[in-house]
């Protein structure tokens, strides 16, 4: 049941910078993932925001059941080739009523210190809940993944996950399209695609599992950011002399360092930030 991208769909991805796809995981694996997430969500510390469940795989090897799932890697391979590194992952959960917004951005901007070139990573966005216009689904600007570098500005908004966003002169929101997904449907998008999402003021939660991959030819800047990030060899062989972490070994020390340097989602104290959706 793995998703196969024919030539038409691959051309569509190269033209638009994203694709919307049907069921990604076998039913039993998706049900297990959703149950796994619900357990993690229930164990969040008091006062923690559910949007902040970034890089949970650093301390939870059980998540590699899905991050290295053949259906996921087979999809990714059709975009970036057979040598695949897991760059990052994130449960992005907007609670009902007060889920935060994600301002217009390109993921690559936030990854520019971590990998080179930062434009060469992709995101698989797997819906755990229905993702709709009402509860703050991701919106994308088709074709915006090609072209020039864009200007960013500081952002002061407690309802936003970032403290930097694209300058309003750099995009046209009237060109945006909503990416509405049912549970176990997914989208895949390029690191340079302009996208964002509105706050969730609806009575319905919106949660997605973002799984981020890159070719092993992309350089992980371990010397600069190895104290607060790590990558994993998911399939194939290394092509850039990268250092890879052991997926079976939790790294609690790294998570503690990240906590001291940043609070994960853009309220920057120092270090790198993930993209979001």
Q: Cβ distance 137 to 222 under 8 Å?
A: no
**CA–CA separation, 195 and 169 (whole Å):** 15
Q: What is the pLDDT of residue 127?
A: 98
- Domain chopping of the chain, boundaries: 7-261
Which parts of the chain register pLDDT below 50? Answer: 261-272
Q: What is the pLDDT of residue 1?
A: 52
Over the stretch 146-170, which tens digit does the pLDDT of each residue have?
988 899 999 887 778 888 999 999 9
Q: What is the pLDDT of residue 147?
A: 80
Q: What is the mean pLDDT of the chain?
A: 92
Q: What is the pLDDT of residue 269?
A: 30
| Structural fold of domain 7-261 | Jelly Rolls (2.60.120)
Q: Cβ distance 84 to 77 under 8 Å?
A: yes
CA 221, 227, 229, 230: dihedral to nearest 10 degrees?
80
User: 47 — alpha (psi -120 to 50), left (phi > 0) or beta?
Assistant: left
Nearest to 218 by CA among 199, 238, 236, 201: 238
Q: What is the pLDDT of residue 2?
A: 82
Token output for 176: 């945006």
Q: Cβ distance 145 to 90 under 8 Å?
A: no
Q: Cβ distance 121 to 131 under 8 Å?
A: no
């Amino acid at each position: 049941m793995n998703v196969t991208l024919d030539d038409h769909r691959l051309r569509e991805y190269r033209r638009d910078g994203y694709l919307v796809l049907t069921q990604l995981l076998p039913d039993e694996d998706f049900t297990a993932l959703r149950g796994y997430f619900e357990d993690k969500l229930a164990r969040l510390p008091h006062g923690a925001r559910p949007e902040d469940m970034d890089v949970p795989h650093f301390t939870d090897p059980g998540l590699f059941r899905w991050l290295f799932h053949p259906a996921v890697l087979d999809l990714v391979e059709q975009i970036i080739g057979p040598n695949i590194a897991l760059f990052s992952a994130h449960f992005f959960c907007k609670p009902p009523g007060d889920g935060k917004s994600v301002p217009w951005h390109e993921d690559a901007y936030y990854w520019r210190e971590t990998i080179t070139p930062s434009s060469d990573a992709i995101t698989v966005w797997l819906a755990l809940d229905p993702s709709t216009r009402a509860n703050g689904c991701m919106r994308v600007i088709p074709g915006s993944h090609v072209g020039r570098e864009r200007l960013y500005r500081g952002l002061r908004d407690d309802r936003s996950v970032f403290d930097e966003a694209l300058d309003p002169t750099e995009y046209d929101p009237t060109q945006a399209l909503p990416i509405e997904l049912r549970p176990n449907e997914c989208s895949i998008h390029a690191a340079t695609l302009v996208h964002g999402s509105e706050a969730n003021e609806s009575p319905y939660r919106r949660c997605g599992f973002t799984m981020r991959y890159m070719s092993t030819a992309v350089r992980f800047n371990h010397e600069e950011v190895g104290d607060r990030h790590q990558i994993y060899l998911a399939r194939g062989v290394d092509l850039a002399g990268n250092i890879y972490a052991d997926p079976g070994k939790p790294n609690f020390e790294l998570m503690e360092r990240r906590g001291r340097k940043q609070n994960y989602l853009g309220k920057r104290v120092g270090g790198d930030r993930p993209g979001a959706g």
